[in-house]
Structure 1
């Protein structure tokens, strides 16, 4: 979902060290996921979900919630909760969850190096956009709170732009590319979840997996590769190198 839970830290294969080959010259635009790629919101979101669910009759361990929710849209999380646990929200649940999300995301950090990546693309004249499963208001709140809104500008898109068809459907990334005037097959998508990576691959983009938050499970990189991700990196410094940008100090 747009607001994804945290995941356990662990090693994983890295296929793009900062002294290896780059993708420079092979792409015309870059499309970013938000949560876990540009902003470190996953642990905050997990805490809000788990605490609010427990208060409304569904106590879940953090890892159990992570397993069912990672990379899903908000409506899909509710569907999975119903399917797996027979639980449906009360009338009070959603307003409380909304208020707590808004409070939690009022102060949010950009992931280390994210600003440098966006500035590097801007300075090179490479267009970029954000495509996120987050609800539109929270998408813009997170960008502003993390100090990234000025860099992203108007090119921040959520599923409401494409009739609610969020990731893993390809529509959101295809739409974002079109808004930049770019051919999706000449775009790089940067993702940290299998549903998001699947969306990028299905849209026809080259997908880079970024596991930079310290919440990655040891199997995450392998799962991303299995979804069709071309390269997996663990920092924005590695991502910058892969994109052919000047690499900031990690």
Structure 2
């Protein structure tokens, strides 16, 4: 995929950076989709992996269930959710950070720029993923999930507005980094400048266009390009 032409660096235009988690800092989306599809098939709903990924990307857990009901008339059995939970915990016990993600966070820390994570993941899984990928210490206490804002996850703007407030920064002086349309929509609606990051290799050819249509400032395809867009100096 070819990224759109970059506009000039955003250096000096922001006071904090707010990151999505899945697909932005940790490479978890393919693992999660595989668990969902395998478990759904065992409980009466066979779906192609690509079809599930398309309907679920960037969604909260409850919204995925609502969409499965709306699109396929399917509701979970009593055994479905416990099985899914157990398999998620096993899958996320060994998780990789996306290439360059740690470098980005460390460069922000060196530059004195605060950052936070705002994710639609359930709180326990959010912290499990950060720890498994070796990023928990860098992120520290600034990892937020929808339970912080009454369950109003993305595409609602509340989660990013809260993360900015917790950092003590005006949301309009924040950059949000997202890989999904619901997440990008949340950042735009909150008033932040949004960068689309498609760095996992799982992106659909149309993803960049969809992110731009949602209002992102630009789309990049690696953390190296993200660092350049943010004007960060990263040691070689």
Q: What TM-score, normalized by structure 1, do the two folds share?
A: 0.91
Please give the per-residue CA displacement for 1:43-76, whole angstroms capped at 9, x wherever unaligned.
Answer: 1001100000000000001111112111111000
Does the aligned pair in 1 maintain the 2:6–2:218 contact within 8 Å?
no
Q: What SS does the aligned partner of 1:31 have?
A: strand
Does the aligned pair in 1 maintain the 2:20–2:183 contact within 8 Å?
yes
Q: CA deviation at 1:21?
A: 2.4
2:109 aligned with 1:122: yes
* Residue 124 to residue 17, structure 1, CA distance change in 2 (3 Å): farther
Please give the per-residue CA displacement for 1:177-230, whole angstroms capped at 9, x wherever unaligned.
Answer: 000000000000000000000000000000000000001111000000000000
* Residue 18 to residue 149, structure 1, CA distance change in 2 (3 Å): farther
Q: CA deviation at 1:127?
A: 0.3
**Aligned residue pairs: how many?**
235
Q: 1:249 maps to which residue?
A: 234
| Unpaired segments ≥5 residues, structure 2 | none
* Residue 17 to residue 116, structure 1, CA distance change in 2 (3 Å): farther
1:173 to 140, 154, 160: 160
Does the aligned pair in 2 maintain the 1:17–1:238 contact within 8 Å?
no
- Structure 1 range deviating more: 68-77 or 158-167: 68-77
Counterpart-to-counterpart distance in 1, 2:209 and 2:4: 17
Please give the per-residue CA displacement for 1:103-125, whole angstroms capped at 9, x wherever unaligned.
Answer: 00000000000000000000111
Does the aligned pair in 2 maintain the 1:31–1:173 contact within 8 Å?
yes
Does the aligned pair in 1 maintain the 2:18–2:160 contact within 8 Å?
yes
Counterpart-to-counterpart distance in 2, 1:210 and 1:104: 23
Does the aligned pair in 2 maintain the 1:18–1:242 contact within 8 Å?
no
* Residue 224 to residue 18, structure 1, CA distance change in 2 (3 Å): closer
Q: CA deviation at 1:100?
A: 0.3
Q: Could you list the runs of 4 or more consecutive aligned residues of structure 1 that deviate by over 3 angstroms after TM superposition?
A: 14-20
RMSD across aligned positions (CA) = 1.9
Does the aligned pair in 2 maintain the 1:18–1:238 contact within 8 Å?
no
Q: What SS does the aligned partner of 1:154 have?
A: coil
Q: What SS does the aligned partner of 1:76 have?
A: helix
Q: What TM-score, normalized by structure 2, do the two folds share?
A: 0.96
Q: CA deviation at 1:135?
A: 0.2
Counterpart-to-counterpart distance in 2, 1:15 and 1:26: 26
Counterpart-to-counterpart distance in 1, 2:108 and 2:22: 19
Q: 2:51 maps to which residue?
A: 64
Q: CA deviation at 1:20?
A: 6.6
Counterpart-to-counterpart distance in 2, 1:16 and 1:97: 35
